[in-house]
Amino acid sequence: MSSIISTFDAVAGGYDSPNMRFFPFAADLLAAKAKIFGRQKILDVAAGTGMVSIAAAQMASTGRVMAIDLSAGMLAKAEVNCRKMALTNIDYFEMDGQDVEFKRNYFDHVLCGFGLFFFSDIQKGLLSWKRVMKPGAKVGFSSFLPSSFSPMAELFITRLQAYGYAKDFEVAQKLDSVEKCEQTLSSAGFENIQISQQSMGYHIATGRDWWDVVWNTALRSLLDNLSDDELERFQVEHMAEVEALAVADGIYLPVDVLFSFAEKPD
Ligand SMILES: C[S@@+](CC[C@H](N)C(=O)[O-])C[C@H]1O[C@@H](n2cnc3c(N)ncnc32)[C@H](O)[C@@H]1O
């Protein structure tokens, strides 16, 4: 848990980079698919810099959003982003999404953008969400398909391994297929499961733009063991190999997203 906090506190400053605009795109879509309205109460778990909370708060104009995250750094950015949008219906809490502390049967929606796969105990998290949801309320989360960030992510891991750091970025694999998401939701007792897929990729211009993605996401934590010299060399070599992927429109960054929704039984 402390490594998640230190990772996201470190990336908070650069997380809203335009090179990572798939985060706000996907946040808007997650909130839109939830069909939020009016006076509803929404819990945004792993809220990060507040993209999902902002989209939900705009839809629930007379309702309220509770945004929770483990990282104080991410939440501080979320509060700034919320003020920029002149929204007054979001509250922020440093809280573990695996064990949410709110009233039973309180929320109309629980949403989680690209956060659930970080949990060490996903079932525990989902059961705690279910407890605070009203009967019939909706849960919705986003996760990445394995085609996302390919081949950049593979090049990154292969190079890291060549440096003697035999790591992989396994967390996202926990929810990277329709079957895994379905199984996860049904094991926690949710029903009416609906899962859709959307490609949200785009071209970035340079290898440095991809480095922005590495440096401002959890991928950065895989670089922790490199010395300063190794990191400098790694960055130059990796940016060059990604730059070599460029075609006329730039370097295509594939982002293929699963949106999983379900309901708490009545
Ligand atoms: C990739 S960011 C996603 C942020 C935001 N939801 C979005 O869609 O842009 C993942 C977030 O999950 C948070 N997180 C990871 N594990 C968590 C947990 N157990 N409880 C609460 N937040 C958690 C991290 O601190 C980070 O802010």
Least Cα distance to 73 among 89, 108, 49, 95 occurs for 49
> CB count, 10 Å around CB of 216?
20
Check whether the bond before 265 is cis (ω within 30° of 0): no
97 lines ligand 1 (CB under 6 A): yes
Q: Provide the 3-class DSSP secondary structure of residue 3.
A: helix
pTM: 0.96
Question: Residue 1: what pLDDT?
Answer: 66
27 lines ligand 1 (CB under 6 A): yes
Domains contained in the chain, number: 1
Instruction: Reply yes or no on whether the pLDDT at 168 is more than 80.
Output: no
30 lines ligand 1 (CB under 6 A): no
Does 150 map to a domain?
A: no
10 lines ligand 1 (CB under 6 A): no
* Mean pLDDT (whole number) for 204-212: 97
Does 158 map to a domain?
A: no
Tokens representing residue 154 in the block: 């593979």
Does 155 map to a domain?
A: no
Rounded alpha-carbon distances, angstroms, from residue 149 to 2, 96, 215: 26, 28, 14
CATH code of residue 53: 3.40.50.150
- Ligand 1 centre from 79 Cα, in Å? 15
- The predicted-structure confidence for 132-141, as pLDDT tens digits, reads as follows 999 999 999 9
Kind and range of the H or E run holding 224: none
**Cα–Cα distance for residue pair 260/5, rounded to 1 Å:** 25
- Ligand 1 centre from 174 Cα, in Å? 15
Question: Residue 172: what pLDDT?
Answer: 82
- The predicted-structure confidence for 36-68, as pLDDT tens digits, reads as follows 999 999 999 999 999 999 999 999 999 999 999
Does 115 map to a domain?
A: yes
Which of ligand 1's atoms lies nearest the C-alpha of 98?
19
Does 29 map to a domain?
A: yes
Question: Residue 2: what pLDDT?
Answer: 78
Does 162 map to a domain?
A: no
192 is in which domain, residue-wise?
2-145+169-202+256-263
- Mean pLDDT for the chain? 96
**φ, ψ at 170 (rounded to 5°):** -90, -20
Confidence of residue 165 (pLDDT cuts 50, 70, 90): confident
The number of residues making up the chain comes to: 266
